[in-house]
Amino acid sequence: MKSHRIEAIILRHTCEARHNLNRIAEMVYWPVQNIVVWGFFTVYLARDNHLRPGAVSFLLGAAILWGMFYAFQRDLATGFLEELWSRNIINLFSTPLSISEYLTGLIIVNLLKALLGMIAAALTAWVCYAYNIFPKSLALIPFMLNLALFALAIGVIIIGLIVRYTTRIQTLAWSFAGLLMPFSCVFYPLNSLPKLLRPFAWVLPTTHAFEGMRQAIQGGGFSTLHFAWAITLNALYFLLAIPIFRMMFESARSRGLLVKLE
């Protein structure tokens, strides 16, 4: 891989985001709006004494981290869709740019965007609701890393599916993370799920990330068990995501679909 080509992809998407109000809104507006809504909800519950001790930390902390996961997965897929919508994909791959260089640049720029959105959400929670997640960030970083890795694996698979089946399935870019949310135990512990659903939740890295986050916020220390499960599952999903993407890309290229993606 050539670093100057990766830098070119980063520059291309950075310039596009800087001059596109939609990108700015997605990067900052939605994370902040999400925290405002959840903040008002926690204020309402606290006023009527319906909250358990530490519940505000769980709810706002989970909203901040889920926002980062969702934004990274969504923007990774929509970043590729932008190339299709602008009919720029042929221009890109008519150059010496390789698919690995393109994906690396796309990953870097969208990870930075997701982190900026998370920081904006965290600052909003701090200023408006006196909830400061930053002192806990050291204990949360390993779980944030696992969320980012899982979002990356999902994003790579979705891009591969879009390459193979074109924009007919583009709604996966926005909806797939939402399908996982009820089973990821974002706002409630794993034992609150019906027993039938717990095995499915257990094989999601997101479940272990949020279970570990709750333990850290509660003062129970770092959960080695949940971190080990999350990192192992992420490694497994990466081992599946890369060949799936390569298979989809090669299938699309052999069928001549790369010049027909729309």
| Model pLDDT for residues 190-242, shown as the tens digit of each residue | 988 999 999 999 999 999 999 998 888 777 778 889 999 999 999 999 899 98
Tell me the pLDDT tens digit for each residue of 81-101: 887 777 777 777 777 778 888
Give the mean pLDDT of the chain: 84
Q: What is the pLDDT of residue 54?
A: 60
Q: What is the pLDDT of residue 229?
A: 94
**Which tokens is 177 given?**
């993370």
Other CB atoms within a 10 A radius of the CB of residue 13 amount to 22
Between 172-180 and 137-165, two packed helices, what is the crossing angle to 10 degrees?
A: 130
Rounded to the nearest 10°, the torsion over CA 171, 176, 177, 180 is 150
Mean pLDDT computed over 54-74: 84
> Per residue in 192-205, is it b (16+ CB within 10 Å) or e — as a string?
ebeeeeeeebbebb
Q: What is the pLDDT of residue 91?
A: 75
Tell me the pLDDT tens digit for each residue of 145-171: 999 999 999 999 998 888 888 777 888
Q: What is the pLDDT of residue 134?
A: 81
Q: What is the pLDDT of residue 151?
A: 93
Give one word for 194, left, alpha or beta, with left for phi > 0 and alpha for psi -120 to 50: beta
Q: What is the pLDDT of residue 85?
A: 77
Q: What is the pLDDT of residue 170?
A: 81
Compute the half-sphere exposure of residue 193: CA atoms within 13 Å on the CB side of its CA: 19
pTM over 0.85: yes
Task: Show the DSSP H helices in the chain as ranges.
Answer: 3-18, 21-24, 30-47, 55-85, 89-93, 99-129, 137-165, 172-180, 198-202, 205-217, 224-254
Q: What is the pLDDT of residue 259?
A: 58
User: pLDDT over 90 for what percent of the chain?
Assistant: 23
